[in-house]
Amino acid sequence: MIGGLFIYNHKGEVLISRVYRDDIGRNAVDAFRVNVIHARQQVRSPVTNIARTSFFHVKRSNIWLAAVTKQNVNAAMVFEFLYKMCDVMTAYFGKISEENIKNNFVLIYELLDEILDFGYPQNSETGALKTFITQQGIKSQTKEEQSQITSQVTGQIGWRREGIKYRRNELFLDVLESVNLLMSPQGQVLSAHVSGRVVMKSYLSGMPECKFGMNDKIVIDKQGKGGTTDDTGKSELGGSGKQSIAIDDCTFHQCVRLSKFDSERSISFIPPDGEYELMRYRTTKDIILPFRVIPLVREVGRTKLEVKVVIKSNFKPSLLAQKIEVRIPTPLNTSGVQVICMKGKAKYKASENAIVWKIKRMAGMKESQISAEIELLPTNDKKKWARPPISMNFEVPFAPSGLKVRYLKVFEPKLNYSDHDVIKWVRYIGRSGIYETRC
Amino acid sequence: MTDSKYFTTTKKGEIFELKAELNSDKKEKKKEAVKKVIASMTVGKDVSALFPDVVNCMQTDNLELKKLVYLYLMNYAKSQPDMAIMAVNTFVKDCEDPNPLIRALAVRTMGCIRVDKITEYLCEPLRKCLKDEDPYVRKTAAVCVAKLHDINAQLVEDQGFLDTLKDLISDSNPMVVANAVAALSEIAESHPNSNLLDLNPQTINKLLTALNECTEWGQIFILDCLANYTPRDDRESQSICERVTPRLSHANSAVVLSAVKVLMKFMEMLPKDLDYYGTLLKKLAPPLVTLLSAEPELQYVALRNINLIVQKRPEILKHEMKVFFVKYNDPIYVKLEKLDIMIRLASQANIAQVLAELKEYATEVDVDFVRKAVRAIGRCAIKVEQSAERCVSTLLDLIQTKVNYVVQEAIVVIKDIFRKYPNKYESVIATLCENLDSLDEPEARAAMIWIVGEYAERIDNADELLESFLEGFHDESTQVQLQLLTAIVKLFLKKPTETQELVQQVLSLATQDSDNPDLRDRGYIYWRLLSTDPVAAKEVVLAEKPLISEETDLIEPTLLEELICHIGTLASVYHKPPSAFVEGSRGVQHRRLPPRAGSVESAESPDVGQSGPSEAPPAVIPSQGDLLGDLLNLDLAPPTATVPSVQPSMQMGAMDLLGGGLDSLLGGDIGGSPSMGAGLGAAPTAMPAALGGAPPVGGGLGDLFDLGGGVGMPTGFYVVPKTLWLPAMKAKGLEISGTFARRGGIIQMDMSLTNKAMSVMTDFAIQFNRNSFGLAPAGPLQVLTPLSPNQTIDVSLPLSTSGPVMKMEPLNNLQVAVKNNIDVFYFSCQFPLSLLFVEDGKMERQVFLATWKDIPNDNEAQFQIKDIHLNSDAASNKLQGSNIFTIAKRTVEGQDMLYQSIKLTNSIWVLAEMRVQTGNPNYTLSIKCRAPEVCQFVYQCYEMVLKN
């Protein structure tokens, strides 16, 4: 299991060092600094073995988190734990920075003592931790409160405490998708997928039992056979009128009963209080690609490049895409750039070796164009320019996968409110993930 | 809060100041001081001098302060053991605190203080905490047992904590169960043979129930533990799989990977034609793909594992090529791994896409990545024949770029393509030759030289080209020198007239001016070949080369199987068995997949699967020291006593064939050979349990029974199905399974030798250690043809009983050494005693009576043979087949009494009385013998014969 956990700043100075196992000595702290942080070359692997000791590291801004072990640990678990550790710290004191870590080092030690015991991760749900790691001592609690805390930390529903009360029962559902694309210069889709998340903010009283439904093809088809097609609402988004979508795979927050999903494909759970990620999913079929990028690069002699890029928006004209940014890479030996664009603003950024073209808003079924002349310095470098792909960023108010929330039912039999009393909000946001077109 | 100020104190009299502050009356000031101490400790300063002052702050109501003091204690207690005792009282008191959080804190911290005196005081509080009413305390106590075990294993056993821990597996709280499982798994790792984690269907059921309810981390502990279990049959295997599959939708990637591990392992046991098998295969792909949208570090872990899964079961991901396409912004470690998997998945169906991608990658920035991409193109050409032409033209395009390392890499792979498709793409040689000057890496130079030599007859100026290399001969690396030598000899054999001078030049360079022995030797061989018999030289040097195989750099099957059992762990990331990077005994245990369903292998006893300790067979593998000693004895220890004892067995025909070989087998090699460690391993594998009465499972046993072999025997000697004696893991790829038989009065050892390594094995020889009945090979081991990879050969070795005798424990233990061209390997096995029952074992009635009376009653042993549905006549017939002779039969009150006699090869008589009651399936057996220690084994033979 995990033998120790160290946190370093960018210079390699230790900010936190907690050792859990006897086989990890102080020299491990230095070994990592010397061999990884101070190493000249780029990091070649997130797992490093130095003198039979394995180091797992992740970086958050310029802070290094390293877990150390001498055993054959579950590597996936160690990384998941490091991410979780980052989440917990962020939930307690915001951004992970040297300043914040130094300011909260006592708290961090307390957390590390609680969520890792002898190197075994323990309950690390922030909701539960915040009930008893408060930096204010716990002497004031009554006996009932104490046992409530312990039963929550160890219990079946470790993510929610009993006795939550709201005057207004309300919940917010955000369907956040990032659409990824790799397209060939000829416009052929090499790979495309949507990775989506359903994020829920719940402000519900008691221990509500929730059931979430979406236009999952498997569910709809099953119901279709049963003859109960009450779901006739036409899809109004994205222009494609499809009723259901094929989900390649999905994963759920630990509150969801997985065995029920496995057998009936129904998503039922008791939600944590506040914001959390209910599910993640991935689709690859029938994706609506909100933008199409058509590049044209021409090399004129050895010292000049002509670039023309057309972007076409491909969704309902009534919808607006926002924060559009097209990034056209330029060779390292660029000496000057002239740009003309129809819409928005374009600039050559020498430090980033790219032309960045920004458009604030763009409606569906429109087209825009940029052309640029790039002057090059003559070089004797034999190697040709690698032509990195043109990448794009945007945000659209629909789900490119076509996913629709059909319902989210809330039942709380013990308290006096019904599904109708809950105020529900649903929002769809589609963003670009890695959206690249080769040129 | 601005605690960061504590990090900045670097004054000189700091320690002294801190001391004063720690002893201050003001609580706030005390706390500030402790914080400063902890900050200094973090940075690596030695603040152990403050020990007594810090410990004084322990008695406090302030929990934050208390936790800080505990943190300090954990760090420094070991360096100040005497003073650490001061803390004991507070700990013990805190373990009684009404607040469960404080009780848990105390027991958790106490376990982390590695001071013997403290651990003594820990036992009582720990015992209480293990039974605490609060689950939070129990889950903490469970882990504490593992901590204590790490400090003092004996203490944990003596105090009975292991049993309490086992009870916690049935706890009502899922997190307690999970932590207990984690603790037990860890403790079990350091006791590979213990029955600690007694996994049986009941406990498995409990674990599966807890799996649905506990935290994500707990699920990982439980799944990792489940992966060590070997289900009894395919039905159990399927039902576990069904309950594990929902985990594939968990948001935590580690849960998913551990579930994949369980499924991959248990799938082995499912018959392939089962519908569920197909369903399961389909279910595995999506979660694996989803792992690739995780953070890059996890992607890396996932990709390393997928690499293994793809090698084991390519069908799972064969349609998912696209997801492994490299993204421009992927970290380099993700890119390289993806590339590896792309090559493995490349097939005729997707090769066009793959090639287009690879070509794209070959223009990227990172040198390693580009090289790998170029190499991948070559691999595709070799793997998918239809694409070879396109690959070659892609490579030629890349050579045109003139980027130095791209050209070199391309030439290296083109050499392989020539090997795979001879006489097909030689037209490109001209292009390659143009780039001769730019090659500066040995591998590329060597490849180019090979090409020139191989196709010398088609390259007009081959002699000039090679001559140009010859100028700097001594500055070249060995690889290039060797290649150049061979190439010029090839050239000479093809065009002898013009190149005589050249060949003489290279031969003298290689033999006279070089101090590299390899090079010199090769030079001399060529020289002599050429001077004595040019025709022979031609046959040798220009011999037709075997085609190279399609898949290179595959992981060896046995290692792959082991790594599959370690999915998700570091071993799967490094692609090395845990023993390669873990110190000490932990994790050194080798894991194996369960035997494949429906294959002959299923005849193996399930216990060979290592992880099912339910029926622990007697531990008969001697510890490394023992056997080493024993075998050394044969040759080295008191010479007068041992030399003759070796001699006879060597004369048994082994001598002429093996001669010196055996000498080295027993003598020299054992001495300092590092292979001893490897051969014996530190971790004993479970031994075949077939003798212990476990009926072997699986069908197809009939094939294995060699019933036809009996010469004039009434029912035939019962032959136990072959069991695994020497796993390939321990013998560098040689796997031996075997059994014993007695056919027509001759004892035979039937073995199946399987080569699971990648290279051919030859020169087999066998030798036994001294044993209880003097068993020794009566002839050499007849493996006449070399054993090629994946080939299995069956051999029958006749045995005599005239070898040297030494009493073994258990009596029927046989220690064997097998040698091949690779190494010497040791294993031990047990033979059924019935092997030694001779054909003339029928005693006269009178003699029987007299002898029975003569043997003292103390030597009589009674046994029960259960569940036999035979009447006494059938039983006696059956037994006679194994030379157990019924002399007389008496019937008293519906009870048949059978009197039987047996004679062993060493002339020991065994007398038996068997009582059979009609309608009662349980027989009573009384055995009398002057050597009472054999009774137990005779009983085993009875049971074995009657039950089969």
Range ranked top by mean pLDDT from B248-257, B585-594, B909-918, B934-943: B248-257
Beta carbons of B215 and A254 less than 8 Å apart: yes
B717-727: pLDDT as tens digits: 778 888 888 88
CB < 8 Å to A251, chain B? 249-251, 256, 287, 290
In terms of pLDDT, which residue wins out, B386 or A235? B386
The residue ranking higher by pLDDT, B579 or B636, is B579
Q: Which of B721, B737, B735, B726 is nearest to B603 (CA)?
A: B721
Q: Specify the pLDDT at position B723.
A: 86
Asked whether the predicted pLDDT for residue B642 surpasses 60, the reply is no
Q: Is B471 helix (H, G, I), strand (E, B) or coil?
A: coil
Phi, psi (degrees; rounded to nearest 5) at A155: -80, -175
Please answer whether residues B688 and B829 qualify as being in contact, where contact means their C-beta atoms are separated by less than 8 angstroms. Answer: yes
Please tell me which residue, A214 or A229, carries the higher pLDDT value. Answer: A214
Tokens 């040198």, located at residue: B367
Q: One-letter amino acid identity for A255? A: C
Q: Which residues contact B905 (CB under 8 A, 6 or more apart)?
A: B773, B801, B836, B838
Nearest to B293 among A23, A125, A282 (CB): A282
pLDDT digits (tens, 9 = 90+) for B504-541: 889 988 888 888 899 999 999 999 988 888 888 888 88
Whether B289 sits inside 8 A of A103 (CB atoms) is no
CA distance B564 to B264: 7
In this structure, which amino acid lies at residue B44? G
Range B720-723, long-range pairs (CB < 8 A, 24+ positions): B720/B690, B720/B691, B720/B696, B720/B832, B720/B944, B721/B603, B721/B690, B721/B696, B722/B603, B722/B604, B722/B750, B722/B751, B722/B752, B723/B604, B723/B605, B723/B608, B723/B688, B723/B690, B723/B696, B723/B829
Pinpoint the alpha helices (H) of B214-274. 216-226, 234-244, 253-267
Q: Does B287 touch chain A (CB under 8 A)?
A: yes
Q: How high is the pLDDT of residue B631?
A: 37
Contact between B231 and B237 under an 8 Å Cβ cutoff? The reply is: yes
Tell me the pTM: 0.69
Q: Which residues make beta-bridge pairs with A337?
A: A374
- For residue A176, the model assigns a pLDDT of 96
Predicted pLDDT of residue B718: 76
Q: How many CA atoms lie within 13 A of B669 on its CB side?
A: 22
B462-470 and B496-512 helices, crossing angle to 10°: 20
pLDDT classification of B621: cutoffs 50, 70, 90: very low
Note whether A235 and A247 are within 8 A (CB).
Answer: no
In this predicted structure, what is the pLDDT of residue B601? 40
More confident residue, B850 or A54: A54
The reply to whether B247 touches chain A by the CB within 8 Å rule is yes
Nearest Cα to A302, choosing from A335, A348, A328?
A335
Nearest CA in chain B to A152: B136
Residue A234 has pLDDT above 60, yes or no: no
Tokens of B725: 């004696």
Mean pLDDT score, A22-42 = 87
Between CA B659 and CA A9 the distance in angstroms is 67
Q: What is the pLDDT of residues B700-752, one digit of tens each?
A: 333 333 333 333 344 567 788 888 888 887 888 888 888 888 887 888 888 88
Residue A236 in this model has a pLDDT that exceeds 50: no
B570: nearest CB among A13, A72, A117: A72
B329 touching A, CB under 8 A?
yes
SS3 (DSSP) at A349: strand
| B920: pLDDT strictly greater than 70 | yes
Going by C-alpha positions, the residue among B282, B197, B280 that lies closest to residue B242 is: B280
Helix (H, G, I), strand (E, B), or coil: what is residue A351? helix
Which chain B residue shows the shortest CA-CA distance from A267? B249
pLDDT band at B634 (very low <50, low <70, confident <90, very high): very low
3-state secondary structure of A398: coil
- Best mutation site among A11, A45, A136 for testing chain B: the one with the most B CBs within 10 Å? A45
- Residue B760's pLDDT is 81
Tell me which chain B residue has its CA closest to the CA of residue A108: B68
Q: Cα–Cα distance between B42 and B44 in angstroms, integer?
A: 5
Reported as a pLDDT band with limits 50, 70 and 90, residue B2 is low
Say if residues B339 and B373 touch (Cβ distance below 8 Å): yes
Give the nearest partner residue to A191 out of B99, B300, B325, using CB atoms: B325
Minimum distance, in Å, between the CA of residue A299 and any CA atom of chain B: 16
d(CA B622, CA B368): 48
Q: Do A267 and A259 meet the contact criterion of CB atoms below 8 Å apart? A: no
* Residue B324 forms contact with A (CB below 8 Å): no
**Alpha carbon of B321: minimum distance to chain A alpha carbons (Å):** 10
Nearest CA in chain B to A182: B327
Q: For residue B797, what are its two tokens?
A: 């070795």
Q: What percentage of residues in chain B have a pLDDT greater than 90?
A: 24
**Chain A residue numbers touching B42 (CB-CB < 8 A):** 14-17, 105
Give the integer Cα–Cα distance in Å for B826 and B193.
Answer: 19
CB within 8 Å: B249 and A261? yes
- How close, in Å, is residue B113 to chain A by CA atoms? 10
B183 to each of A112, A119, A338, B104, how far by Cα in Å? 19, 11, 67, 16
To the nearest whole Å, the CA of A133 is away from the closest chain B CA by 9
Dist. CA B578–CA B566, nearest whole Å: 9
Residue A247's nearest CA partner among A276, A217, A274 is A217
Residues of A in contact with B293 (CB under 8 A): 195, 280, 282
pLDDT beyond 80 at B756? yes
Contact B568 A135 (CB under 8 A): no
What is the rounded distance in angstroms from the CA atom of residue B137 to the CA atom of residue B127?
11
- Give the pLDDT of residue A226: 53
Q: In the predicted model, is pLDDT for residue B31 greater than 90?
A: no
Lowest mean pLDDT among A22-36, A220-234, B217-231: A220-234
The residues near B640 (Cβ < 8 Å, ≥ 6 apart) are none
Alpha-carbon distances of B366 from A37, A390, B369, B406, B532, rounded to whole Å: 20, 19, 5, 12, 52
The token duo for B621 is 């593998």
Q: Helices marked H in B565-623 — which ranges?
A: 570-574
Q: How far apart are CA B99 and CA B117, in angstroms?
A: 26
Q: Beta strands A170-183 and A423-437: pairing type?
A: parallel
Element (H, E) at B885: strand B885-892
Chain A residues whose beta carbon lies within 8 Å of the beta carbon of residue B302: 76
**What does the pLDDT look like over B341-398, one tens digit per residue?**
999 999 989 998 899 999 989 888 888 999 999 999 998 998 888 889 999 999 998 8
Residue type, A381: D
**Helix-helix angle A105-115:A75-93, to 10 degrees:** 140
Torsion angle of C-alpha atoms B899, B903, B907, B913, degrees rounded to 10: -30
Rounded to whole angstroms, the Cα distance separating B120 from A428 reads 61
Single-letter amino acid code for the residue at B596: R
Q: Name the amino acid, one letter, at B401.
A: T
Cβ neighbours, 10 Å, residue B661:
16
CB contacts, 8 Å: B143 with chain A:
117-118, 120
Count other C-beta atoms under 10 Å from residue A170's C-beta: 15
pLDDT tens, residue by residue, B128-149: 999 999 999 999 999 999 999 9
Chain A partners of B179 at a C-beta cutoff of 8 Å? Answer: 117, 120, 122
DSSP B908-938: -EEEEEEEEETT---EEEEEEESSGGGHHHH
| Cβ–Cβ under 8 Å, residues A399 and A347 | no
Distance from CA of A60 to the nearest CA of B (A): 12
Q: Is the pLDDT of residue A333 over 50?
A: yes
DSSP state for residue B858 in the 8-state scheme: G
Mutation target vs B (from A33, A74, A384; most B CBs, 10 A cutoff): A74
